[in-house]
Structure 1
Amino acid sequence: MPISTAPNPLGHLKNNTADWWWKDPGMRKLAAPMLLGFLGAMQTGYDSSIIVNLQANPLFWIALGTTSPAIIGCVVAANPLGALPGLIPGAFISDRWGRKFLMIVGYVGLLGASVFLCFAFGAWKHFGARFFHGIFSGFTSLAGGPYTTEIAHPRNRAQCTALIQSCQFFGAVVGCWVCYACWYIEGEWSWRLPLLLQMWTPILGLALMPFCPESPRWLASHGRMEEAHRVIAKFHSNGDMNDELVQHELKEIRAALEIERLAKAVKYRSFFATKGNRHRLLIVITCGLGMQMVGNSVITFYLVPILLSVGIVDPADQMIYNAGLQMWNWFASMLGALLCERSGRRPMWLISCEGQLISYTVITICSALFAQGSHAASYVVLAFLFVYFFFYAIAFTPLSLAYAVEILPYTMRSKGLSIFFICSMLSVILNTFINPIAFDAIAWKWYIFWIGCILIVGTIMFFYFIETKHRTLEEMAELFDGPSADKNACVPPPDTAEEDKDKEATQSELDDNIAQLSFHPRQEGA
């Protein structure tokens, strides 16, 4: 087997793989574990998409038995409400019994919840079914993200991590077209079938389980280093246990486990201990809340009322529009992920906020004009929804979690990300409950509130978000804490002190944390 010469961060290490992954037997075998890890994100995207599209189906409203905005808000919010309490037992199960075991529990639960949803009749039965569906969906995503990153080959790890987010869009697009196809079914199955078809991800996930190993990172953390060694060698070097890259990965895993041990000594009050840490906390909270508090959620979960407010009343037209918006969002988020390394984080943040502010203002003005009788204004609203989400997705989708990770030193990273996810999850729940009530009461005037939120988030970013492009963690520590910064908090333990190993340990830990985003509810216009 030839030595790989493909560009990658560890190209100086000899690796018994082919130049291209599809030409290599070991890396081709990784396709099943990769797909297993992606399914959690696909499930999240599919669920968020169908709850939007089913609002265009009159028979679904009859099944709910109510048009109360408050109750509808509860039904839509039920999924993230279920995911939030599920995080604690899910994390415990994943750490104690493994990523695969948690995914199995999640997929079996999703099968039952999908059947419950399909045959539920009445708003509160749907609420209960979506709540339990949210718990198990959170399980699969919570395990799937880390599993993908931990088993991916190092030279493809960054791409695989980026694909986790794009898989949410894939699930959303599938959901849009399923609802569109089912719309032409007469009777209750026009809304029941899309709910029942949520079983496609758990069925596929359970079918893949026998062909997928446990995460080598989890095996190593439970003292099964030899087994972890065999798994890495099988997929990353075609079984060569002495491969240079495989040996490096094992050292990297040991270093990461030591970092996690050190991080347990850091308390949440450490975020208030110094000016630099308070600055970091502000950024983490802004990133977490900003994913949902810049007007995107009112479009994400309540697109149908928005389309109705500008005269798009045909359900089929509403579903086609949403499908097009999903594909557009996928393109914009991928473009942003590719550009952020070239243009820098701060310019991307500021351009995104400026674009969102301008486009949201146009949407608000034209919605008001349509309400006063200007039919032409509706076309401007439809166009600028695409413009708004382009500016949202180029920065907020690829950068929100990644930027929060970058500005946190190793020892504060896990607790900082916990704060990030709590802020983001709470904002999802708040949005999904309040938006239908507010939109029903004051219609387009509710957009003015979100314009104010965009201004606040943009102002914080302008004054407090620093540029992290091409800066080491030590350099960023000086920007936050001054010349006396504690650089020991930013670097791995001494046994991996060589520069090349530091860089890869840093990247591995970053990728691992970025992958956690997949258990977060969808934020783009699903």
Structure 2
Amino acid sequence: MTTRPLSPPTSPRKRTKAMHLPSSQRICHDWMVVQGNVHYARDRAHFTTYRPVTAHLKNNIFNPTDELEVAGIGTVEIPVVRSLDNPFDTHTIVLENVLHIPEAVCNGFNPLLFGSSMSCTETAWMGADREGRLMWVAMPFRGGSSVSHVDDTDHPDVQTKGGGVGDPALAIATSLQKPSLWSKSMLKLYGCIAVAMLNSCINGYDGSLMGSINSYAQYRDYFGFDPNSGTPSTGIVYAIYTIGNIVGSFVAGPATDFKGRRVGMALGSLFIIIGTIVQATCHNIGGFMGGRFILGFGVAISATAGPAYVSEMAHPAYRGAMTGLYNVLWFGGGIPGTFIPWRTSSIEGTMSWRIPIWLQMVFSGLVLVFVPFVAESPRWLISQDKHDAALQVLADYHGDGDRNAPIVQLEYREMIEDISQTGSDKRWWDYRELFNTREVRYRSMLVIIMALFGQWTGNGPVSYYYPQMLRGAGITDNNTQLMLQGVQNVVSFLGAVSGALITDRMGRRTQLLVSTSIVVVLFAIVTALNATNVVDGPDGTPIAKSAVAARAQIAMIYLFGFIYSAGWTPNQAMYPVECLRYESRAKGMGMNNFFVNIASFYNTFVTGIAFTQAGWKYYFLFIFWDTMEVIVIYFLFVETSKRTLEELTAIFQQKNPVKASLKKQDLTEIEELK
């Protein structure tokens, strides 16, 4: 191989599909034993000393008729294994004059240049130093051999557990340096994620708030609504928020990609604050609806940037719990959104509903204040060619400050391989990467299905007769009814927290299958109770015949809320984020938000009409629909747990992604033996 000086290096070429193969099928892994007259490394992070150069390499094995850019030269240190019998007996070798070749498909180690000898057995390459002492062991690998190494020498004994669903590389990396839940880097990570999770509280607060203040006589009198029944105007007040959300969905993706996830969260919060001020200070229904539209527009951006940030910042060992808790924090706003109106309902005049509306800006205000102090998503930094900054974020928040920590190096290498610096996230108008290949069409299909199923599983209609059941059980006081609605939110919150904490152990598919199957049974029970207990009163409105049956139905509604929240609430934001590639993640979450609101819009306007026309028989539709959901989830939903976001690329590229995601792997864990 020869080198020659050239003009300043050109932009890196687009990565080939070979870079997205499963780790077991890639041409190399780690440091490959090579022939030639150079050492070379693919990633800048490998170098301990580094000097940029502008040269090209020709007559090389990667592109015999082409040239590769040499971006720099420097020193690399490799911790290597002395013996197959003791994988933690390591030794560090220092390679001088290593070429940095970003386009290389692997890192190349030439033992002859290091002054070592080599021998070959049926199971491994073995090297020795100048004195003939065993220096390193290279495990056989497709296309050659790779130097097997670990980064620490002080490890407990090794114990291998049985197979499981997941990626071995992640299992090994987390085993080599187990993350502590209470380490300094994890505590800093919790702070960043907590700021992003406030975006979920924003949505939850409004979702509960309007249902509460809509029953206020003070609110209805001020805007001239019929105090005893709904009017077209009350429906429009609800719908205008959804319309703002739908419009915002088209802006949310580009707003989140353009200047980063942090700017996306800040921009969404700013719109929410403006919308809140317009609502709280308005003097007519037009102003109120204008504020609702702006609020919905801002929530669409926050609901896109927030979960994208959490999933991309979360430690891969705990991504399920961290990202699952994002949507759980809907109740962090939903519960105050119920209890605050309960306490202010007794205030005379417009302040009874203006105070809860003013408080709408608390969560968005906190986001706006603290978001400048959180780290940017390392994946966004990689996409902007800010590799050193991305590596530092990974080290600070996942590796206790160590850039060479196994989990940091694994994530960093996978991000570089998987994230394009010329993807559609750089073009605000380009949505093609959501649909232009079979792989991404499958991903987008799951995102859309998740959006629709999450809204149409029946969590709203199941409590349609809830007010009648309360009256049938002898609970007629409005304050008590508001309080019980708050208790219902608390029960659902407990279910959602439980679901978020078990999602990594249980798996996303199993969690959704089990909860939806139980929901089918609960719907059948609720249908039977309604069929035997709901009758038309003297004025034609539904009433409950039996107080005992009414209490049983209230209990079923509470149980339904717990089960639905345990299965669906953690996954509603987490699963779509995990299904999407980086380049299309923000726009894909905008698409998810669009379909969530289309489904919600349907619920708002169709549910009441359907119950008016069909009564409790409308529940039969949900029994059928939820049964269909179970079938669709079983045959189409990919298992995304126990893998990094980049490792999921190999799964979705398979002919049968579901089967590939469920394939058992040998997952190695390192444990202290008692």
- TM-score, normalised by the number of residues in structure 2: 0.60
How far has the Cα of 1:201 moved from its partner? Answer: 0.7
Q: 1:457 to 1:229 in 2, by over 3 A?
A: same
Partner of 2:630: 461
Amino acid at match of 1:208: F
SS of 2:635's equivalent? coil
Amino acid at match of 1:247: Q
Partner of 2:38: none
SS of 2:394's equivalent? helix
SS of 1:242's equivalent? coil
Matched, 1:92 2:254: yes
Matched, 1:293 2:456: yes
Q: 1:361 to 1:397 in 2, by over 3 A?
A: farther
Matched, 1:193 2:334: no
Matched, 1:35 2:194: yes
How far has the Cα of 1:463 moved from its partner? Answer: 7.4
Partner of 1:222: 384
Contact 1:344 1:469 in 2 (8 A): no
My pick for the range that moved more, 153-162 or 139-148, is 153-162
Contact 2:256 2:586 in 1 (8 A): no
CA offset digits 1:391-443 (Å, max 9, x no partner): 4334343456767789999999999877755443211012113345556x55x
SS of 1:218's equivalent? helix
Q: How far apart, in 1, do the equivalents of 2:640 and 2:358 lie?
A: 48
Amino acid at match of 2:526: S
Partner of 1:205: 367
Q: How far apart, in 1, do the equivalents of 2:529 and 2:338 lie?
A: 26
Of the candidates 414, 427, 452, which is equivalent to residue 252 of structure 1? 414
SS of 1:186's equivalent? coil
Contact 1:302 1:436 in 2 (8 A): no
CA offset digits 1:464-508 (Å, max 9, x no partner): 7338697999xxxxxxxxxxx9727969xxxxxxx899xxxxxxx
Partner of 2:335: 173
- Residues 98-497 of structure 1 aligned to structure 2 (within 5 Å): 98-258=260-420, 268=435, 287-298=450-461, 312-337=475-500, 338=502, 340-341=506-507, 345-363=512-530, 365-368=532-535, 371=542, 374=545, 376=547, 377-398=549-570, 421-436=593-608, 441=612, 445-459=614-628, 461-462=630-631, 465-466=634-635, 487=654
Q: How far apart, in 2, do the equivalents of 1:408 and 1:207 lie?
A: 29
Q: How far apart, in 2, do the equivalents of 1:132 and 1:305 lie?
A: 35
How far has the Cα of 1:296 moved from its partner? Answer: 2.6
- TM-score, normalised by the number of residues in structure 1: 0.76
Partner of 1:504: none
Q: How far apart, in 1, do the equivalents of 2:634 and 2:656 lie?
A: 21
My pick for the range that moved more, 66-75 or 29-38, is 66-75
Q: 1:135 to 1:307 in 2, by over 3 A?
A: farther
CA offset digits 1:315-366 (Å, max 9, x no partner): 2112111111111112223444537449665444323222223224424543
Q: 1:139 to 1:251 in 2, by over 3 A?
A: same
Amino acid at match of 1:49: S
Q: How far apart, in 2, do the equivalents of 1:336 and 1:14 lie?
A: 23
Larger radius of gyration: 2
Contact 1:64 1:126 in 2 (8 A): no
Identity in percent: 24
Q: How far apart, in 1, do the equivalents of 2:290 and 2:407 lie?
A: 48
Contact 2:511 2:567 in 1 (8 A): no
SS of 1:30's equivalent? helix
Amino acid at match of 2:345: W
Contact 2:435 2:444 in 1 (8 A): no
My pick for the range that moved more, 411-420 or 88-97, is 411-420
Question: Which has the larger strand fraction?
Answer: 2
Give RMSD over aligned pairs.
Answer: 4.3
Q: 1:425 to 1:373 in 2, by over 3 A?
A: closer
Q: How far apart, in 2, do the equivalents of 1:238 and 1:406 lie?
A: 25
Partner of 1:12: 172
Structure 2: 5+ residue stretches without partners: 1-151, 426-430, 643-651, 659-664, 668-674
Amino acid at match of 1:214: E
Partner of 1:21: 181
Q: 1:423 to 1:400 in 2, by over 3 A?
A: same
Q: 1:216 to 1:239 in 2, by over 3 A?
A: same
SS of 1:368's equivalent? strand
Aligned length: 473
CA offset digits 1:217-246 (Å, max 9, x no partner): 111111111111122222222332232221
How far has the Cα of 1:104 moved from its partner? Answer: 1.5
SS of 1:226's equivalent? helix
Contact 1:216 1:232 in 2 (8 A): yes
Structure 1: 5+ residue stretches without partners: 474-484, 492-498, 502-526
Q: 1:346 to 1:204 in 2, by over 3 A?
A: closer
Amino acid at match of 2:524: L
My pick for the range that moved more, 9-18 or 250-259, is 9-18
Q: 1:260 to 1:406 in 2, by over 3 A?
A: farther
Q: How far apart, in 2, do the equivalents of 1:4 and 1:205 lie?
A: 41
Partner of 1:479: none
Amino acid at match of 2:517: L
How far has the Cα of 1:205 moved from its partner? Answer: 1.0
How far has the Cα of 1:73 moved from its partner? Answer: 1.9
Q: 1:134 to 1:344 in 2, by over 3 A?
A: closer
Contact 1:79 1:134 in 2 (8 A): yes
Q: How far apart, in 2, do the equivalents of 1:2 and 1:75 lie?
A: 64
Amino acid at match of 2:296: G
Matched, 1:76 2:251: no
